Structure 1
Amino acid sequence: MKVLVVGQGGREHALAWKLSQSPSVSKVYCAPGNAGTAADAVNIDISSDDIPRLVQFAQAEQIGLTVVGPEAPLTAGIVDAFRAAGLTVFGPSKAAAQLEGSKSFSKELMKRATVPTAQFAVFNSADEAESYINDREETPLVVKADGLAAGKGVVVCAKKEEAIDALNRIMRETEFGDAGRRVVIEERLDGLEVSILAIVDGNTIIPLETSQDHKPAYDDDKGPNTGGMGAYSPTPLVSPELMDQIITQILVPTVDTMKKSGCAFSGILYAGLMITNQGPKVLEYNVRFGDPEAQPVLMRLKTDLAEILLAGAQGQLSKLPPLEWDDRPAVCVVMASEGYPGDYEKGRVIRGLDAAAELADTKVFHAGTSLQGEEVVTNGGRVLGVTALGNTVADAKLKAYQAVKRIRWDGAWCRHDISDKAR
């Protein structure tokens, strides 16, 4: 079977790498891919948002399974287009992808499903939103752009002035473009965040191993939010009992309510949760593998990923045996470009990748890279996801940072405390 992975980030490299290990897979294509997928798969020069050309390519190459990595093509309806062409594709429909594409849709659905989440209000008018903020008591708030903003459209605010400043940036200064035409304002939840990924086929839900992302740019969770500066799996925050609670109170009612709403969910359901004193509450839903959570989770997966995703795409998850996992934890450290999550330069030559690849139980997943002749150069803000397995979380962290030390380019940086929350 030939497989097509759509996207060009670290998540897509992890998917292509894992899918290529399947005995049932003869060839993996990645569109458009990056310098890392060029080594583990075959890159195709088609943008992830060029849906007609992707459909044509899949038909011409008789692709047996297409796996869509990023959220933008999913919310644009790539799955609907592939299904209409008679192609097998793993991911949610355009209607179901609203769960990530519109935070107001997601929050309203949680409300209908009685899924625990923060109290919220939705506004189409900046003036009305500002009045709402001013009329409230001085409590911490979170201001969110309604649409897709590459993980950066969420501003956590301690004071009213900060919330109004965030509102101005999102709605009046249109920092995030059309994504900020509507905002969701909600109470800030206190606790520790965890990422729950589950494979869903409309009816059956198979949770994957737990992980924890690190969104703020700098050590000790300081600085602006990013797309994610690292992750580890599993997280000790989620006990088996808590996982049962998450499944019954969050995942099951969400999937059931989606089905009752006429947009049955198939694909990856990603629940970003805050573990509060009142129990787990949903911060947001995504409709694809997390990035960088996919990297440590897929490093630990022993079951054939192609079989899992094909069963998910065909509505056959109930026939799968239990998934098998490597008991060892995995840690992923994101190496970023100077200036990220703000402006940064591209085209800086990356050295030391071969030296890092020599380390056992370590894989360097490429995110923002490209090939310039024979050289690998930076092509994004988050450049690499250096991932390692270890006998303990501390051991995995040590191995990951040993690999990080072997890699260099002008302006490279990373957080130094990824996975410390596991202690």
Structure 2
Amino acid sequence: MKTKAKEFSPEEAEKSTRYLYWWLLLALFFEYGRPAAYFKPLGLLPLNSAIPLVLFLVTCFAKGLRPWNRIFADGLAKWPFIFLGAVLASMLWATVGGYSFIVFQKMLGYLFIYIMIVRICTSRERVNGVALTLIVSHLFLLVMNPEVVLSPTTRHYVIGATFLGDGNDYSMSMCILLGFQLNIALNQTTKFKKMFSWFLLGLLMLTIIGTQSRGATLGMVGVFGYMWWRSPRKAAGVVAIVVAVIGVLLYAPAVYFERMGTLSAPQEDSSAEGRIHAWRAGTKMALHNPLGVGAGNFPNNFPKYRGPDAPVRWMTAHSMYFLILGELGILGLLMLFKLVFGNFRSNVRLRKRLEEEQERLKEPTRFAADIRALNAYNGSIIGLAIAGGFLSVTYYPHIFVMVGVCVALRRVMAEEAGLVDAPAAARKRAGTRRLRPGAEQIPAT
């Protein structure tokens, strides 16, 4: 006779999966921080691959994690799988199928990270823990490469950081962290924690300035511009922006402002001019190949589609939009829009639902912290969307991690607010108010 599987209480589920949560944070730190590059004994074993892979296998059988039906109730949850499937399918028509397979292998690991985030992060605290771990990982790299901030007159590589090794890539990733850190700073309760959180936010900004990255600078402006627009305290926001601008003027070297000046005159800078040639080539690839030239095949196709006055023979796209346009075609570009801007839209829709619920309950501040968090995470998406427009980061982990934390956060918030059928743990954290009969599900996007 078959025995019924034991059902965990919410408290038991949270306790029994705690070790998986800390394991996830360790996996993220090894992925972003790459400590084995600085502490050689860690490199004796393939920990960067082993830690997340074994964790993924464990989560396939562990009890007490977010079930798949609750994950896929979010309309964006399936799109990372579709993204990976499109990369795999592109092997069929790619110029060099082996290049597409290499991209697929790398992205499969990022999909595992996405799955672990949406399954393990069943509370706000866990989502915040993931965001904090990403910030700590980047600060670890900064500690190991202090010249990035201490010597801003020269552009430096981040030694040992793999996909974050170039200063542009590192600062672009910092743009994503700005929204995360803003959310942390706005929710601190003690004076010391508030001051320390704002200090860390300032340090992230100085790091972006120190890399002299034009794309990341635009991304940073986009993040803070959006947060000011969404803030109910616009006067205080103006003061903060003025203080930030004064800090930049005091810290930034003259060469930084010279580089920013080329934004309006790209023909005066070989790097900016090269990007324009790459974008034109990516557009031609899509026009001549409706499904693209295959993932990983932009550089080897660039000589065929480059203009006669292109400064170099080999080049990547220098834009996540034009890279996917050239490699996966128009459908690939629309898919990227869905992952990035669709995620933004889903956050906006939930924010509006929470605002409506506040009005219905006549409690104008009930979900204030949730609304701030959704705005902050949308700020991070804007940082990714703008800064990513100048770098070939399409197949980096950023998109998978961003969608993962946003899906997990939306599920937690919607369940606790009673906007979807919620487990008992969510109802308990939300208070004594019971779910409304026939509560609607968050609309799929």
Which interval holds the TM-score relative to the shorter structure?
A: under 0.3
TM-score for both structures, normalised by structure 1: 0.26
Q: As a proportion of its length, which structure holds more strand? A: 1
Structure possessing the higher radius of gyration over alpha carbons? 2
TM-score for both structures, normalised by structure 2: 0.25
